[in-house]
Structure 1
Amino acid sequence: MRLTNAEQAATPRSGAPIPTPAAPAAATKEPGARPSHWRPDIEGLRALAVGAVIASHIGFFYAEGGFIGVDVFFVISGFLITSLLLREIDRTGRVSITGFYARRAVRLLPAAAVVLAATLAAAWIWLPRTRLPDIATDAAAAALNVVNIRLAREGTEYLNADAVPSPLQHFWSLAVEEQFYIFWPLLLLAVALLARRVWGGRFAPGDHLRRRRTAAIAVVLTAIGAASLYLSATQSGPDPVWSYFGIHTRAWELAAGAGVAVAAAHLRRLPAWAAAAGSWAGLGLIGASVLLIDERTAFPGTAAALPVAGTALVIAAGCAPHRFGATMLLGVAPAQYVGKISYGLYLWHWPLVMIGPAMLGVEEPRLRHYLVLMAAAFLLAVATFHLVENPIRTRRTLVQVPSRALAMGGGLITGALALSILASLQPMPAASNEEAAEITGDDATVWDLLDESSDVDTVPANLTPALEDAKLDEPALYDDGCVVERDDPNVDEDCWYGDPDGDKTLVLFGDSHAAQWFPAVNQLAEAAGWRLLAMTKANCSVPDVREYDPKLEREYTECPEWKDGVYDLLDDVEPDAVVAATYDDKEVMADDPDAAWTDGWVESVERLEESADEVYYLADSPDLGEDVPDCLAENPQDASTCVGDLDDALIEPERREDTEAAVADTGARVVDPIPWMCDVDEGTCPVVVGNLLVYRDSNHLAARFVAELAPQLAAAIPLEPAESQ
């Protein structure tokens, strides 16, 4: 799901930048009055952008590409903020850095702090307690304007593939803006000072310094924009997560708006007919972006040029006086009001999208539910604007004394950090004082307790791992870097385990659903005196198929490249046995995906048989469809609610049967693990067996649980003990 953020620099009434204390507007106008440079077309663009974002997020008709609203806001922000800074430079010859950041603090932080606090409280009340630490960390990152970096890092980790988006994820674009504005005012100040030294002599012509200074700013701006656009075009495909959230691929969008501000004096001379036509053309490009761009578009890439160019055209056209332009539509009263409250509307809408269904008690929300929630977001935005934003940003003691504004901003950030820490320390809800039978591998085993586990009522006090630690209960392969990341096609030849002195070699091959079996497979290898080579890669299927990767948002070309490298390595190693496993829920790019999947498994198994003496196809484990630790945290007194239905937990059961039969025909051995973790007779898949948590998310088995399945795995995959044993 794409997430975007609205432009945040606005005036007391209209949403345009707040004048500096020394600006004429501040001296001649009452707080809340519109400055002379107020632009109704820009106010309308804000309304259009936030409306597109919301429509995209709630699944409104034909609005999948509405996330481009963030690009509209970036251009608006670049134009307005740079216009403000250029006016200050023209007036004083320099930029007040403290004044600039004071205005940002007064404009942005109060509303953001209110939303952060309210979201943390709502998450504590309505969301599973297991999610609260992560949301608290997101809140801290948002307060420090680094949440985009956190999201990029989290998004590139395969174990978070099925994680629910954070209700604070939308703060990423505010972080991008603030990161841009860390260096942009400083660059403008440096250019202004250098220009005055070089061209500002006593005998220089009157307008000479201003023209040269503007040209120098244009050169700097062009260099920044060109470099960022190049990174956007070249990195959005191979590295989509960092490209989407990163300042390096977004700076050009802000620079585009800044470029319009630099050229504004020339744009004022546009013929009226050209300005009117340009504004409509720009509006058309923005509308086309919503319709043509979707989740599969490599973004921002070059695709973002469509909404960026459209927004720049509308703003540029508005620099010249004209009639019959797009302001006829953008300037209507409802659009003007929505534009005025767009910052608060953006801040409130996403937490309500993510938490609102739980507040309403709706498990599968529909569009009508989201429309109700967006009505609530509108009311909250109105209240926030009139009770928080406007009163604070028009308060003379803050507007005219930057030190006070900065102190207020520091206090709000500190308060948000304190709330984040407090939220992260909240304990899990108490379930029961009773302790379940411990799985010891001797007295009580998973096999002994499985049949009665679907009727477990409460989460045991000695649950292992504890719910708050469930996400961390992963195989050692991850810490060792032996689960290769998506964008890396290289084979790591150093992932050796088992008995290092063993004469025979076992290979574990596949994606994360192969890696999850490592604790048991490694026990087998150690007990038999075999070496174990772990060849696993994030989301990379064993079968020879073309697959679409939702994280990369394109065909997963690195997967077959990596597998070719693995096959070459296995030809050299000549393993005695290979255990291959894969998550069945993959998007196969073929006319007949099921047939391609089965045929792909056969081709890959036959290729493995060229190198190995024995090949074992370890069929996929169940997918329960919802995060198990979250479910148990919500239902600590009724754990049976989280028990999975076996029929629903098997992905494509008919294809699974066909694949097992086809692989068996190749001579490979098929191992079905379902009876080890599900009550086949009752058709249920427990989530707690004895004191063990079975799943660390919706579909990955917990490492501690897998370790206890070693006896079952040993019976299915008998390894002949080495002679030294």
Structure 2
Amino acid sequence: MRNPETAETTGPSARPSHWRPDIEGLRAVAVGVVIAAHIGFPYMAGGFVGVDVFFVISGFLITSLLLREIDKTGTVSIAGFYARRAVRLLPAAATVLLATLVASWLWLPRTRLGEIAADAATAALNVINIRLAQEGTDYLNANADPSPLQHFWSLAVEEQFYIVWPLVLLAIAFVGAKFSKPGKYTAARHRHRGVGRTAAITAFLIMAAGVSFWMSANWTAGDPIWSYFGIHTRAWELAIGALIAVAAGRIRAFAPAWAAAVASWAGLALIVASVFLLDERTVFPGTAAMLPVAGTALVIAAGCAQHRFGATLLLGIKPAQFIGKISYGLYLWHWPLIMIGPTVLGLEDVRVRHYLFLMAVAFLLTIATFYLVENPIRTRKPLVQVPSRALAMGGGLIATALAASLFMAGQPMPEQSNEEVAEITGNDSTVWEMLGESSDVDTVPANLTPSLDGAVEDEPALYDDGCQVDRDDPKVNKDCWYGDPEGEKTIVLFGDSHAGQWFPALRQNAEASGWRLLVMSKSNCSVADVREHDPKLDREYTECETWKQDVIDYLGEVEPDVVLATSYDGKDVIADDPDQAWIDGWVETVNDLQDVAGEVYYMADNPDIGEDVPGCLAEHPEDASVCVGDLENAVIEPERREELVNAVTDAGAHVVDPIPWLCDIDQGTCPVVIGNLLVYRDANHLSASFVAELAPQVAAAIPLAADPGSQ
């Protein structure tokens, strides 16, 4: 990831005086396992722990550097510290940021440029981890491709640590000097002051590590996204490295050589074991991060003592040393190549061999960056020796990255056809008349509604109203009433976002018929009585089970006349036979709903086009037919779907199949533009504008007799 300096160098090719070949080798291991995990190398899904290895290394090296400065001068030069960070880290980071922005503009869909520009800006300001945490908890972005700058989150965590930690050490040094007794400064007094300072630093680190680890252990399961990206659950890893730096002298003085050698091998074994034992389903960081952190701590601590037969025998080999030396640049380059490279090469089915080729390209770019950018700048004396110049350079690089981000964010969408097509106005026959000819649309119309750059925001109003319950919230929102408030009859919309998307049509029909409409919708929560694994929470979705049981209990109080239930078919069901459990779970829920409602309607799921529709249309504005979905592939689990329809019908539910409203059955296609309407706002969520025009079809399928009480 990054290579914080361990000491001052005496020339461009000189090694620092406190050189640690074992740490250089650890960097190689860390970046290697991160890349292996990201390219899908077999059995190495836990390679994400390489980031944790980097955190411990950074905590140790930075603290070692600062402690040497305090011991030598009695204080910390904040300007000097940040100047060294700027010279060391910003040139390569700015190079990759700018290159990624250019590559994104050239090869990625224009609909993504605004998001990537925001990622670049927050990466330049070292707060991208906060942005990713916020975006990760936004259900509307659940189907978005990862950002090519997502990996900058770990650099942001370290920079946030670098902002706080030197100031803490400076404060401790200042307080120690302030309260020391006046008198002649002697070696004994210097040692006494040093002992007190060390005790204060150790106490602070233990406290900080303890609080952070407690947060990681107790908050990760309930809030995995913020826990993964946040410094509050990662600070203890950096603090562990810092504690080793504080204790390095004692380790060097008292640790037996044989014990240090054994500890170093044991530590390396723990790191390797964590790569193979952990995977994407591990609750992380949580307590699971103890494995790679403990391993890294053992290797670093062992290296503080003199020993001959430790893990440095392996970590110190030349290839590992070279990879470690360039690991920062390799970490920076590898992820944009993974995210953008397949598009550049025109690959749809990307295999490990393709990623290996892209990693070879990343390796060459890394070497070029190291020798043409990193090394020349960090050894340039005018920058190294004058902090103000280094800080000015760093500010200039950040400003350049921000300017490039703003420029890209302002780039217009590709030109669409100047021809405007006839608008769909809600006439019963309009959608039906245009459906058959919509699969052959050549150009994206100029009056497309919603526009391509506004598609992601074309969601039902219930989102703004807080009626799409968040993943980590098990509570039922009982304030989500719509339709005619004076109506005597009630229809309930029950399910996840694939239920919520039908809200615009159902709301129109409820208002026209004088019915009340109650929305019970929760992100990614199926209606079926099953156990689910949630990909965002990265664990069993217990909040969903609690929520839907409470919904059914609440409906027992409401006693609705009609319940319309639906949810996305692509759930990760936890069961020995997921397909059968899915069908049985739906039947169980239908039975429960029939106990509390007059009639139960099951809305079968809509097609999943399989790729972001606005992004595809932005790439092919002159041939929209390229983005049209294939009906055979767009239906999720068609055989299970048919069995489910039969099962809920037998259980007494009315079945509504939206496929004929959305796809041309004869042609076997699912258009993405009908008239002037964009059908999908992403890969599988219908746009609110389009659903509003399906109100007549929904009314015919789910008739709501006019409520006499509303007349």
When the two structures are superposed, what TM-score results if normalisation uses the length of structure 1? 0.96
Describe the superposition over 1:633-672 as per-residue Cα deviations: whole angstroms up to 9, x where unpaired: 1111111111111111111111111111111112221111
Describe the superposition over 1:33-87 as per-residue Cα deviations: whole angstroms up to 9, x where unpaired: 1121011111111111001111111111221111100000000000000000000
Post-superposition offset of 1:443: 8.7
Query: In the alignment, is the contact (CA less than 8 A) between 1:192 and 1:213 conserved in 2?
Result: yes
Structure 2: which amino acid aligns with 1:267?
A: I
Structure 2: which amino acid aligns with 1:509?
A: F
Structure 1: which amino acid aligns with 2:144?
A: A
Find the partner of 1:700 among 668, 681, 685. 685
Describe the superposition over 1:545-574 as per-residue Cα deviations: whole angstroms up to 9, x where unpaired: 011111111111001100121112111111
Post-superposition offset of 1:200: 5.3
1:575 is the counterpart of 2:560: yes
Secondary structure of the structure 1 residue equivalent to 2:340: helix
Structure 2 counterpart of 1:13: none
1:401 is the counterpart of 2:389: no
Query: In the alignment, is the contact (CA less than 8 A) between 1:200 and 1:209 conserved in 2?
Result: no
Query: In the alignment, is the contact (CA less than 8 A) between 1:348 and 1:377 conserved in 2?
Result: yes
Find the partner of 1:288 among 245, 270, 273. 273
Post-superposition offset of 1:30: 2.3
Structure 1: which amino acid aligns with 2:233?
A: T
Q: How many residues align?
A: 706
Structure 2: which amino acid aligns with 1:220?
A: F
Secondary structure of the structure 2 residue equivalent to 1:509: strand
Structure 2 counterpart of 1:602: 587
Instruction: Spell out the pairing of 1:237-386 with structure 2 (5 A cutoff).
Output: 237-269=221-253, 270-386=255-371
Post-superposition offset of 1:436: 1.8
Secondary structure of the structure 2 residue equivalent to 1:578: strand
Describe the superposition over 1:667-717 as per-residue Cα deviations: whole angstroms up to 9, x where unpaired: 221111110010111111000000100000000000000000000000000
Structure 2: which amino acid aligns with 1:334?
A: P
Query: In the alignment, is the contact (CA less than 8 A) between 1:233 and 1:302 conserved in 2?
Result: yes
> Matched residues in 1 for 2:290 and 2:181: separation?
37
Moved over 4 A (4+): none
Find the partner of 1:47 among 19, 23, 28. 28
> Matched residues in 2 for 1:62 and 1:200: separation?
60
Describe the superposition over 1:469-513 as per-residue Cα deviations: whole angstroms up to 9, x where unpaired: 111110011111100001100011111111112111111000000
> Matched residues in 2 for 1:558 and 1:108: separation?
42
Structure 2: which amino acid aligns with 1:275?
A: A
Find the partner of 2:125 among 135, 141, 144. 144
Structure 2 counterpart of 1:591: 576
> Matched residues in 2 for 1:642 and 1:255: separation?
50
Describe the superposition over 1:188-218 as per-residue Cα deviations: whole angstroms up to 9, x where unpaired: 1111111223345436644111111101100
Structure 1 counterpart of 2:602: 617
1:83 is the counterpart of 2:61: no
When the two chains are superposed, the root-mean-square deviation of aligned CA atoms in Å is 1.1
> Matched residues in 1 for 2:140 and 2:426: separation?
28
Find the partner of 1:225 among 209, 226, 233. 209
> Matched residues in 2 for 1:445 and 1:523: separation?
17
Secondary structure of the structure 1 residue equivalent to 2:309: coil
> Matched residues in 2 for 1:392 and 1:444: separation?
68
Structure 2: which amino acid aligns with 1:365?
A: V
1:108 is the counterpart of 2:110: no
Query: In the alignment, is the contact (CA less than 8 A) between 1:199 and 1:212 conserved in 2?
Result: no
Structure 1 counterpart of 2:619: 634
Secondary structure of the structure 1 residue equivalent to 2:490: strand
1:177 is the counterpart of 2:158: yes
Secondary structure of the structure 1 residue equivalent to 2:173: helix
Query: In the alignment, is the contact (CA less than 8 A) between 2:428 and 2:697 conserved in 1?
Result: no
1:234 is the counterpart of 2:211: no
Secondary structure of the structure 1 residue equivalent to 2:437: helix
Structure 2: which amino acid aligns with 1:438?
A: E
> Matched residues in 2 for 1:631 and 1:642: separation?
6
Secondary structure of the structure 2 residue equivalent to 1:85: helix
Cα pair distance change 1:670/1:347, threshold 3 Å: same
Instruction: Spell out the pairing of 1:27-38 with structure 2 (5 A cutoff).
Output: 29-38=10-19
Instruction: Spell out the pairing of 1:489-638 with structure 2 (5 A cutoff).
Output: 489-638=474-623
Structure 2: which amino acid aligns with 1:588?
A: V
Query: In the alignment, is the contact (CA less than 8 A) between 1:438 and 1:444 conserved in 2?
Result: no
Describe the superposition over 1:339-388 as per-residue Cα deviations: whole angstroms up to 9, x where unpaired: 11111111000000000011111112111111111011011111111111
> Matched residues in 2 for 1:30 and 1:677: separation?
68
Query: In the alignment, is the contact (CA less than 8 A) between 2:330 and 2:366 conserved in 1?
Result: yes
Structure 2 counterpart of 1:61: 42
> Matched residues in 1 for 2:42 and 2:700: separation?
54
Secondary structure of the structure 2 residue equivalent to 1:410: helix
Describe the superposition over 1:382-425 as per-residue Cα deviations: whole angstroms up to 9, x where unpaired: 11111111111111111111111111111111110000000011
Post-superposition offset of 1:9: 1.7
Query: In the alignment, is the contact (CA less than 8 A) between 1:283 and 1:326 conserved in 2?
Result: yes
Structure 2 counterpart of 1:22: none
> Matched residues in 2 for 1:486 and 1:511: separation?
10
Structure 2: which amino acid aligns with 1:210?
A: G
Structure 1 unaligned regions, length at least 5: 1-5, 11-15, 20-24
Structure 2: which amino acid aligns with 1:682?
A: Q
Greater shift in the superposed pair: 659-668 or 383-392: 659-668
Query: In the alignment, is the contact (CA less than 8 A) between 2:3 and 2:325 conserved in 1?
Result: no
> Matched residues in 1 for 2:586 and 2:45: separation?
34
Structure 1 counterpart of 2:196: 212
Structure 2: which amino acid aligns with 1:301?
A: G
> Matched residues in 2 for 1:138 and 1:41: separation?
34
When the two structures are superposed, what TM-score results if normalisation uses the length of structure 2? 0.98
Structure 2 unaligned regions, length at least 5: none
Secondary structure of the structure 2 residue equivalent to 1:566: helix
Structure 2: which amino acid aligns with 1:215?
A: A
> Matched residues in 2 for 1:592 and 1:225: separation?
43
Structure 2 counterpart of 1:131: 112
Structure 2: which amino acid aligns with 1:151?
A: L
Query: In the alignment, is the contact (CA less than 8 A) between 1:524 and 1:719 conserved in 2?
Result: yes
Structure 2 counterpart of 1:682: 667
> Matched residues in 1 for 2:335 and 2:116: separation?
13
Structure 2 counterpart of 1:192: 173
Secondary structure of the structure 2 residue equivalent to 1:506: strand
Give % identity: 71
Secondary structure of the structure 1 residue equivalent to 2:462: helix
> Matched residues in 1 for 2:294 and 2:168: separation?
24
Post-superposition offset of 1:444: 6.5
Structure 1: which amino acid aligns with 2:99?
A: A
> Matched residues in 2 for 1:107 and 1:669: separation?
66
> Matched residues in 2 for 1:192 and 1:522: separation?
65
> Matched residues in 1 for 2:16 and 2:85: separation?
17
Describe the superposition over 1:534-553 as per-residue Cα deviations: whole angstroms up to 9, x where unpaired: 10000000010011111111
> Matched residues in 2 for 1:205 and 1:85: separation?
21
> Matched residues in 1 for 2:428 and 2:300: separation?
75
Query: In the alignment, is the contact (CA less than 8 A) between 2:127 and 2:153 conserved in 1?
Result: yes
> Matched residues in 2 for 1:262 and 1:221: separation?
10
Query: In the alignment, is the contact (CA less than 8 A) between 1:345 and 1:378 conserved in 2?
Result: yes
Query: In the alignment, is the contact (CA less than 8 A) between 2:114 and 2:409 conserved in 1?
Result: yes
Query: In the alignment, is the contact (CA less than 8 A) between 1:283 and 1:311 conserved in 2?
Result: yes
Structure 1: which amino acid aligns with 2:140?
A: L
Post-superposition offset of 1:158: 1.0
Post-superposition offset of 1:31: 3.8
